[in-house]
Structure 1
């Protein structure tokens, strides 16, 4: 236990504004205390250790000698980032970053890569951003990043504590490399038609640091079909009124498309349930939760089912939900909810496959926040949310065409004739 004066100091520091705490000077001993809090909190609350190759005890052992020389906030942030990388989990993050920190996946990325038959391949490109604008397309093989062979470029992002480097760890490392950092323009060398070609997705500036939208959502009529696209605003409670207004205006359409492909930053359950509640006429379960920390500590399982209640003026015509790699976290919950309630047909590609629900914590001395998945989430029938794939797979398109939207329109127009 900390001496009384140290506990009092920690309490006083937490009362300081975050900007002042960031400027405060801490001793190596205080950084050691902070790391111990971080490490212990992750150990007790992170709920996906069973599917990782991570040796979390080894992470602490590796950090202990480094902590003795930590004297600045930046050094401590980098140490925490490296520790979180050992989880190879895109849903675990810090609330702060350095200029050379990796961009968050998927929120601040414009390409999605995977290893296919041993080759690093671009499997999807985010619509409207730098990668698409310069001509990068799905199916291109990535050979190098900023002139570094791709196998070499991913090495800094593969954990040092892993019992074995599994495919999941390599894929996360690949996407961290492709994401780039907050200050260095990327150069991707890819194979196109058997030839090497260089692309510069950040040539017009680091636009991924400041993605702008025209509004919380976009809505329109496509003939007799309604279309609503959510612009990464599922964490904004103002979306509820905007969505209600848009849906009411489209209430006489013969089918509706709900586009969640530009929702990488998650959201909150209030907004999510408000949206789902407009598509049902009776209370229904939509998601199963499992809190593993209680079982780890006490040996008692804790699970519960979350319900959605219907809201006034429900939309009862056929519904198609569009999803993709930049459908992350809460929109994934909306998707498995509407699917589980058999209220929608889901089309597109795999989603971001983010693990569970995140809980947020704050380190005592430095005040640095971090987020980790602490609840497992499941579709109502028990399918893990991160394992869900759309009912109708539509390969990604880029360069102006939108095959997924075309397929959705065709399906709804056909159903409206019957």
Structure 2
């Protein structure tokens, strides 16, 4: 499976603003060639058109008509951002951005919301970031973003080429609006228990623009139970050695909690299999893949099962995996694997629900890339990965100072002693 971490904002911005990067001009024919390559690649390879209301042929017409007015790299980046937004897919994106581009969801956001009975309600808040720090909590209704009423704030973020605006498109537009862009501090106007509040999650600093972790993981012992939290490092091969040494130090515990709630940027299967392999004693399938592009091209369906092999000194005590809205991509893959192998109890909220496995492509003239889901991913019994909900489901894992999911995991391990 080819999953790639979503690109960090500072790195992307640095690449975009290199001396000469914005001065390099392409000809109209080169912009047309790049746009045609982009459109055809998505048309031939995107794996989830059947779930979308996107009229991709209309995308070519609407955005292709804008090409004669494109005279700079920045303008072309914006055109492709808008075209790709027609898929309303969190797992599709460019490998570059502009200062006023929207932050990526979920990597670059700290609040998750959705429409419930017509109201835009907060359903999750990212632990340790600005939204939580200023008091945003699940259940609050979002009234306005930077003084723009929600309904109006969503309009620029809804595709122009949709046959109809479905709930998934509205929810993504809502979350993009809440994420904000890379340069504008956010002001969120919310209502809780009939009381109106104004919150400023990017003050005194825009924490989402400078996300750093002291270590790739952190661990501790909670009585006789071990706890390991992965800090968004599932794409870093150095995590494997750090995880192995940490697990060895916790080998004498009676049970283990693996916290994947801060893994929004994806990762790679090498790291994932290294982690999973420490908890099994026999080789097993852990994930199913399907390749829609091959079926569309030739009418022949192709699917595969991916295996994970045991590694030395397996941890065989009970395991609980914690997940949440910022468990994304590779974190979701690890979760459904443990669930399918019946090796862990999964505790938490819904995850990021990112679609499939991502492949990367590069424009021939502009040279920056774009990523789209090209493979469908399933639990080995055929459940789409994006539809997975933990058996031990909770509505919200953070309420004030209480970590509901962690408390439930501890209770489970202390009371049952079963995976």
Compute the TM-score of the two structures, normalised by the length of structure 2: 0.94
- Residues 51-109 of structure 1, C-alpha deviation per residue, up to 9 Å, x if partnerless? 10000000010012210110100000000000011000000000000011000000010
Do 1:125 and 1:398's aligned partners in 2 also have CA atoms closer than 8 Å?
no
* Cα distance in structure 1, aligned partners of 2:156 and 2:71: 23
Q: Per the alignment, in what secondary structure is the counterpart of residue 278 of structure 1?
A: helix
Structure 2 gaps of 5+ residues are 1-14
Aligned partner of 2:12 in structure 1 is: none
Aligned partner of 2:380 in structure 1 is: 380
- Residues 223-269 of structure 1, C-alpha deviation per residue, up to 9 Å, x if partnerless? 00000000000000000000000111111111000000000001000
- Residues 145-196 of structure 1, C-alpha deviation per residue, up to 9 Å, x if partnerless? 1111101101111111100110010001000000000000011111122021
Aligned partner of 2:416 in structure 1 is: 415
Structure 1 gaps of 5+ residues are 1-16
Aligned partner of 1:39 in structure 2 is: 39
Do 1:28 and 1:69's aligned partners in 2 also have CA atoms closer than 8 Å?
no
Q: CA deviation at 1:399?
A: 2.8
Aligned partner of 2:89 in structure 1 is: 89
Do 2:356 and 2:374's aligned partners in 1 also have CA atoms closer than 8 Å?
yes
Do 1:110 and 1:179's aligned partners in 2 also have CA atoms closer than 8 Å?
yes
Aligned partner of 1:309 in structure 2 is: 309
* Cα distance in structure 1, aligned partners of 2:395 and 2:40: 42
Aligned partner of 1:114 in structure 2 is: 114
Aligned partner of 1:399 in structure 2 is: 400
Q: CA deviation at 1:208?
A: 0.1
Q: CA deviation at 1:21?
A: 5.8
Do 1:22 and 1:366's aligned partners in 2 also have CA atoms closer than 8 Å?
no
* Cα distance in structure 2, aligned partners of 1:417 and 1:358: 35
Do 1:21 and 1:367's aligned partners in 2 also have CA atoms closer than 8 Å?
no
Q: How many residues align?
A: 402
Q: CA deviation at 1:414?
A: 0.9
Aligned partner of 1:128 in structure 2 is: 128
Superposition map of 1:11-410 within 5 A = 23-396=23-396, 397-410=398-411
Cα RMSD (Å): 1.3
Do 1:326 and 1:352's aligned partners in 2 also have CA atoms closer than 8 Å?
yes
* Cα distance in structure 1, aligned partners of 2:21 and 2:384: 39
* Cα distance in structure 2, aligned partners of 1:177 and 1:191: 17
* Cα distance in structure 2, aligned partners of 1:244 and 1:169: 41
Greater mean alpha carbon deviation, residues 103-112 or residues 387-396 = 387-396
Q: CA deviation at 1:292?
A: 1.0
- Residues 316-346 of structure 1, C-alpha deviation per residue, up to 9 Å, x if partnerless? 0000000000000001000000000000000
Do 1:146 and 1:188's aligned partners in 2 also have CA atoms closer than 8 Å?
yes
* Cα distance in structure 1, aligned partners of 2:247 and 2:92: 34
* Cα distance in structure 2, aligned partners of 1:257 and 1:395: 19
Compute the TM-score of the two structures, normalised by the length of structure 1: 0.94
Q: CA deviation at 1:22?
A: 5.1
Greater C-alpha Rg = 1
Q: CA deviation at 1:417?
A: 9.8
* Cα distance in structure 1, aligned partners of 2:417 and 2:371: 44
Do 1:319 and 1:345's aligned partners in 2 also have CA atoms closer than 8 Å?
yes
Q: CA deviation at 1:23?
A: 3.9
* Cα distance in structure 1, aligned partners of 2:205 and 2:278: 40
Q: CA deviation at 1:400?
A: 2.3
Q: Per the alignment, in what secondary structure is the counterpart of residue 275 of structure 2?
A: helix
